[in-house]
Amino acid sequence: MYRLGLALILAGALGNFIDRVRFQYVTDMFQLDFINFAIFNVADMSLTIGVILVLIHILFFDKGDTL
């Protein structure tokens, strides 16, 4: 789960970076009309899901003894 989260974060960051380099802006493509929510794209979804997966792993599964 940790590696999948990191891969999703990297993929989302690269997707948004490529849009910034090519178009000087990020293309958003999804708008939810039934609720007041921000317009987003696949890279944003990937980043969000990746961060959630990493946080779940750190909070519940990581047995590290550091700080």
Q: How far is CA 63 from CA 2, 27, 48, 60, 66, in A?
A: 13, 39, 24, 8, 9
- Catalytic positions, please? 28, 44
| Residue 5 C-alpha from the chain's centroid | 8
